[in-house]
Amino acid sequence: MHVVRVRYAPSPTGTLHIGGARTALFNFLFARHTNGTFVLRVEDTDQARQVPGSEEAMIRGLKSLGILWDEGPDTPSQPYGPYRVTERMARHQELARQLLAEGKAYRCFCTPEELEAERNRRRAEGLPPRYSGRCRTLTPEASKARAEAGERWVLRLVVPEEGETIVEDIIRGTVRFENRILDDFVLMKPDFTPVYNFAVAIDDHDMAITHVIRGEEHLSNTPKQILVMKALGFDLPKFAHLPMILAPDRTKLSKRHGATSVEEYRDQGILPEALVNYLLLLGWSAPDGREIMTLDEAAQEFTLERVQHTAAIYDQKKLEWMNHEYFVRLPVERIVEAVQPFITYDTSQGPDFHAVVALSRERSFTLVQLAESMRFFYERPSTYESKGVQKHFGGHVVERLEALVERLEQLTAWDHDILLSAYDTLSGELSIKRAELIHPTRLAVTGRTVGPGLFELVALLGRDETLARLRTSAELIRSDRVPVEA
């Protein structure tokens, strides 16, 4: 058995999207499960579509998720390097010349206009728009002479006109492609740089990749890469094509369904621990049905045989549920660190920030929500929920709030149990339910009708601040000047 070597080979043409992150994750976990090697290779053959800074952004995104590689363009050890395709060009050109010399590839001098006319003619005849292979009949001498005369040409592979190219896929089983529909596809462009399918087949061989694990959208590329490998006499790796990730309506996932890139999820306030755990479940399940798993735990269980072959359905609410699970499971110090970039108010004055985070995280699903839910601890309410005002700031509430202030001023200590006892005693004296004091208090103190347990938050807010907010609310209600949120 060869040592397992897998690779994630993204193109630096944009941000790291969840499909690519999921592919990288599954490669990473498979390598860890098998004690193999995970390689990062940058497929930068399409120079026209490259976006400046996208390679660096992709690397940051993977690292933020804890998906780390053993070999890549930024690693000290590069036994199979370089790990950018454009830096391996001499090898691709060498093998292109070899295939040309062996008669396994040929120069094609057809112009783009001729090729388009040929495709249109075949469409009109009800045939697949494939290349006819007419330049295949040129003699080597005639081909060389035309090239030396300066004619523009590309290099095409001689593809068998009959038979099948078979992909044995670990996830999807046996997939067959008729050679007649593949045509003699291009290997090298007019500037003698390789196309994707030629370069990737060579690089996978030269880097000793044993398993090619990638998205289902690459399945149509696989027979071409197999034909290249066979023409060059290479052994084939094993293939595994991961299921697509679809939106809830089973259409292609897009921004209208939510975020699609790792950076966007970060900006939404999704913890990287939660995002990578959610990606794990998009097409894979643990043998025991567990959903919350660390990367180390997932690596122990991960096998390609448990990857489903049907599409995975993206669910934003499930992701946010998982994010909430990490909020309550991770140490509070980790949540404090994560929420800091989302804080837009001054926390230097007021309750201990760690304590506020510990109390507030139970009810939040994103870091954005968490940051906003804690604002009232450090800023007095400027408005009050309109529905809450209608429900809780009417009737005898002014008298009750004033009685409450008077009672709380008499307390010699300020903690949960003492506050609870004070509310119980006063509600009994007023012959009302405790809730008829609790709800107006919460609205007066926070401006909201929901939040952490009242006595916990009031204890944390402190005596002076709580009493000040109760007095302010009573004055606003009495003067009929309560500002409600828009």
Give 241: exposed, middle or buried? Use CB within 10 Å, 0-12, 13-18, 19+: buried
> Could you give the dihedral angle defined by the CA atoms of residues 178, 181, 182 and 183, in that order, rounded to the nearest 10 degrees?
130
Is cis: bond before 73, omega within 30 of 0? no
Please provide the DSSP assignment of 155-205 as one string.
EEE---SSSEEEEEETTTEEEEEEGGGT-S-EEE-TTS-B-HHHHHHHHHH
7 with 209: CB under 8 angstroms? yes
Half-sphere exposure of 478 (CA within 13 A, CB side): 11
189 in a known ligand binding site: no
195 with 186: CB under 8 angstroms? yes
User: Mind telling me the catalytic residues?
Assistant: 255
Query: Strand 5-8 to strand 37-40: parallel, antiparallel, or no bridges (unpaired)?
Result: parallel
Long-range contacts of 343-352 (CB under 8 A, 24+ apart): 343/371, 343/374, 344/371, 345/375, 345/378, 345/379, 346/378, 347/378, 349/378, 350/377, 350/378, 350/465, 351/377, 351/378, 351/460, 351/461, 351/462, 352/460
Residue numbers in the known binding site for ATP are: 255
